[in-house]
Amino acid sequence: MSRYAIYDPLTAATTPAGHDQAVASYWRAHPRAHAPVIDALAILPSRVQTLIIGAGYTGLNAAIELATQGVGDILVIDAGDIGAGCSSRNAGFVLPSSGRLSLADYSKRFGEEVAAGVLHEFNCGVTHLEDLVKRYAIDCDYAPANYLRIAHNANEAAKLRQLAAADSPWPRTFIKAAELQHRLPGVRHGFAALQQQPAARVHPLALVQGYAKVAKRMGVAFKTHCPVLNIQPGAQSVHVETAQGAVSAQQVLLCTNAYATRTLLPDVTSHQLPVLSNVAVTAPLSQWQIQQIGLGINDLVMDTRRLKYYYRLLDDNRLLFGGRGAVSGQNARHPRYAKQLHRAMCDTMPVLNDTQFAYQWSGWVSVPLDAFPRVYRHSPRVLASLGYCGAGISFASLAGKRLAELAQGQSLADLPFYRSAPPSFPFASMRRTGQRLYYQYAKLSDRLG
């Protein structure tokens, strides 16, 4: 195994215990002052009512909703710590979206009424998260922000102008090139921008730890560093083998998103492609550099490339910059990927040419074949949620709640997310080859505009 390798859910036999320990994220190095300590069980119980696998936003929101509805005897289990997956290591952009389809795509594929329902559900994601943060006073730097989509060429600028002119449920402002240049003088390749709300920024690790603290207070039990190896749904219960023994549950909620191996419950976990996303955080910038760039603490920026870059200024004057990562885990930590990201950052903001990355890490996001998320019942006693395609802070939080509602026999809105399992990939073994080809095509298309 290469010294640059990381855990790869597509090829590994099991999710390793403590797979998150090698992740040196900025968020772990800068926790909130009052980050809670969640006492986990020392010994795995032999039976529970509800077993939730995955202690990220989805699993913890499912636990909170079940506990709120009066369900007891809930165990949340994770191969790593609380938030071992994406939930502790994302960029902290809270947006009303998920998956890769736009509202226009939903409208074309499913009709206008469904698109309106999707929009409503996306907005519910943000209000749900905001409500929990306020109700339980979760200390996670949650604050309203401006989401800026910056067109990287003239074609995309024209599309943003059209979007701004169309009816929109969200407050939107079109920003012309000259105005954008005035506002963000140090950002290159800005042909225009669309500023949109609602949006918010958050400390992602503090949010997931806050959710865990709420669930713990409601009586939910935790078992961390305990990979699940096998799930066998039965007529009377579900038999679950873990690295620390077996547990039988009346129902299992699978909230492992991109982090489960494809063999865990193959007709769920193999119906997605784990795709690596890279993030870096620079050393603190000087006041001069910040003025040159023009970014404020409330600006969350994403460009319009197929292979997108996104960035935000952090409250200690560092810049967070993210983009795509390696295709497989094999060489994911090779320095060339950090160099690629650094080159992209300097190309976007040349004033950062001499600014080094202080933190660099990556995470697996879950991409289904048809690029939109799913919350569904797999079998009478097993439910699953996955496929947010790298946009899941608000939607994963809501998906956890919806999963719990479904587990309680409540019906969900008639939306594509809730109707079916994700489709399987044809030629599954060729997924990574397909991804490599797509990256080549996207790179060329981004360059040629």
Ligand X SMILES: Cc1cc2nc3c(=O)[nH]c(=O)nc-3n(C[C@H](O)[C@H](O)[C@H](O)COP(=O)(O)OP(=O)(O)OC[C@H]3O[C@@H](n4cnc5c(N)ncnc54)[C@H](O)[C@@H]3O)c2cc1C
Residues that bind ligand X (CB under 6 A): 15, 53-59, 77-80, 84-87, 89-93, 95, 227-228, 255-257, 259-260, 264, 277, 279, 322, 363, 365, 388, 390-393, 396
What are the CA-CA distances from residue 398 to residues 26, 38, 394 (Å)? 26, 22, 6
Question: What is d(CA 174, CA 165) in angstroms, rounded to the nearest whole number?
Answer: 8
Q: Which is nearer to ligand X, 26 or 106 (CB)?
A: 26
Q: Which residue has the tokens 């990220």?
A: 56
Report the nearest approach of ligand X to the CB of residue 449 (Å).
25
Q: Residue 256 carries which side chain, given as an amino acid letter?
A: T
Phi and psi of 143, rounded to 5°? -155, 140
Q: Is 428 helix (H, G, I), strand (E, B) or coil?
A: helix
Q: How far is CA 102 from the centre of its chain?
A: 17
Q: How far apart are CA 152 and CA 155, in angstroms?
A: 8
Token pair of 346, please? 């300097």
Q: How far is the CB of 386 from ligand X (least distance, A)?
A: 7
Residue 167 Cβ, how far from ligand X at the closest point, in Å?
A: 25
Q: Decide whether 76 or 157 has the Cβ nearer to ligand X.
A: 76
Cβ proximity to ligand X: between 237 and 256 the closer is 256
Backbone CA torsion sign across 202, 85, 72, 373: positive
Shortest spacing between CB 399 and ligand X, in angstroms: 7
User: In the bound complex, what is the minimum distance in angstroms from residue 257's beta carbon to ligand X?
Assistant: 3
Q: Kindly report the number of other CB atoms within 10 A of residue 229's CB atom.
A: 18
Q: What is the DSSP letter of 2?
A: -
Nearer to ligand X, 237 or 261 (CB): 261
Q: Measured from the CB atom, is 78 or 157 closer to ligand X? A: 78
Q: How far is the CB of 15 from ligand X (least distance, A)?
A: 4
Ramachandran area for residue 390 (φ above 0: left; ψ -120 to 50: alpha; else beta)? left
> Which C-beta is closer to ligand X: that of 55 or that of 214?
55
Residue 191 or residue 361: which is nearer to ligand X going by CB? 361
User: Can you say whether the dihedral through the CA atoms of 333, 335, 336, 341 is positive or negative?
Assistant: positive
Least distance in Å: CB of 41 to ligand X? 14
Q: What is the dihedral of CA 109, 110, 112, 113, to 10 degrees?
A: -170
Q: Return the number of the residue (280 or 351) whose C-beta is nearest ligand X.
A: 280
Task: State which residue, 57 or 372, has the beta carbon closest to ligand X.
Answer: 57
What's the min distance (Å) between Cβ of 182 and ligand X? 27
Task: Please report how close the Cβ of residue 65 comes to ligand X at its closest, in angstroms.
Answer: 14
* DSSP string of 150-207, one letter each residue: EESSHHHHHHHHHHHHS--SS-EEEEEHHHHHHHSTT--S-SEEEEESS-EE--HHHH
